[in-house]
Amino acid sequence: MKDVLVIVNPAAAGGRAGRGWPRIATELRRTGLDFDVALTSCAGEATDIARLAVREGRALVVAAGGDGTVNEVANGFFEAGEPVPTSTRLGLLPLGTGGDFRRSFGIPVRAEGAAAVLRAGRSRRIDAGRLTCVARGSGTVVRHFVNIADAGIGGEVVARVNRGGKLGGGPLTFLVASLLTLMRWRNKPMRVVIDGTAEDWVAQQVVVANCQYYGGGMRVAPRARPDDGLLDVIVIGDVGVWENVRGLGRIRRGTHLEDSNPKLRHVLARRVEVSSPEPVLLDADGEQPGRLPATFEVQPSALELVCPG
């Protein structure tokens, strides 16, 4: 058993990750990275593989895929809602459509650059979020996220992206999905309880962020720090279609929090509860665990991530 396990999602980026993996593996080994490989064959399998690797005491478990793959692998570092005690570290090999989590840490997209980061082995202890919600079928599910979770239009956009094809790259895929979803979206009544204080909104979405980017490079939480022991909560209220279209550029640049806007709320929190009398989908790191009502809680210093110094 080798110290490094690379968990590859061949379906990432519309199947391009699987088709390109033999070449990528050769490039990685050429850099001197020595590793075992596990290729996933179905949703959820990466979590089981990662949890076993953590239990085995591997030094490094690498998520090779997109944000959904990172989410699955990261969930393998948790059990029964809590971090598994371990010295195993999480690494990234970005091969997917969105690549939003790696943006906050400056992890290179190219294989040789990502391999150099993994070999250097510099670590950063980061927080994670714990999401408890209604499962897609029935009952309750607990899911961890390392990047961003949200309730509202974001869940619908992710559902559209996951149903459709990948259009060349992450930004274009998510932009088209966002615009198509906006045409039919209706804002929802939501109750948002932030560290015990309740607020009632008609909202487009409630974003709960550990890192800064989502939706293929949109900097929705520009002030988020993944190691401050807090979650950034951005509530986007009763905005219309044209307000959204005009605001997309500002969100992509991360300047939307700079001006006072009664339809926008930003606050730091340890615990957030969101509910609605209407069905509202959730998104967690590009995956869809279920729907409202949901509780989001920070888990400080839950993971050790290998990233650039």
Write the CATH number for 45.
3.40.50.10330
**Quick one: 81 and 147 in the same domain?**
no
Structural domains of the chain, count:
2
Over its length of 309 residues, how does the chain's per-residue pLDDT go in tens digits? 899 999 999 999 889 999 999 999 999 999 999 999 999 999 999 999 999 999 999 999 999 999 999 999 999 999 999 999 999 999 999 998 778 999 999 999 999 999 999 999 899 999 999 999 999 888 999 999 999 999 998 777 777 776 665 554 556 777 777 777 767 789 999 999 999 999 999 999 999 999 999 988 899 999 999 999 999 999 999 998 788 878 888 999 999 999 889 999 999 999 999 999 999 999 999 888 999 999 999 999 999 999 997
**Quick one: 201 and 122 in the same domain?**
no
* Position 306 in a domain: no
* Position 164 in a domain: yes
Write the CATH number for 282.
2.60.200.40
In this prediction, residue 165 carries a pLDDT of 56
**Quick one: 260 and 163 in the same domain?**
yes
**Quick one: 165 and 79 in the same domain?**
no
**Quick one: 169 and 83 in the same domain?**
no
The domain boundary, picked from 111, 127, 143, lies at: 127
**Quick one: 200 and 143 in the same domain?**
yes
* Position 197 in a domain: yes
In this prediction, residue 169 carries a pLDDT of 52
pLDDT tens per residue, range 103-152:
999 999 999 999 999 999 899 999 999 999 999 888 999 999 999 999 99
* Position 248 in a domain: yes
**Quick one: 39 and 148 in the same domain?**
no
Q: Which residue has the tokens 């990662």?
A: 50
**Quick one: 118 and 157 in the same domain?**
no
**Quick one: 112 and 167 in the same domain?**
no
* Position 309 in a domain: no
Residue positions annotated with a catalytic role: 67
Query: Structural domain of residue 45, as residue ranges?
Result: 4-127
In this prediction, residue 235 carries a pLDDT of 98
Q: Which residue has the tokens 């598994």?
A: 84
The domain boundary, picked from 90, 111, 127, lies at: 127
- pTM listed for this prediction: 0.92
The domain boundary, picked from 127, 146, 178, lies at: 127
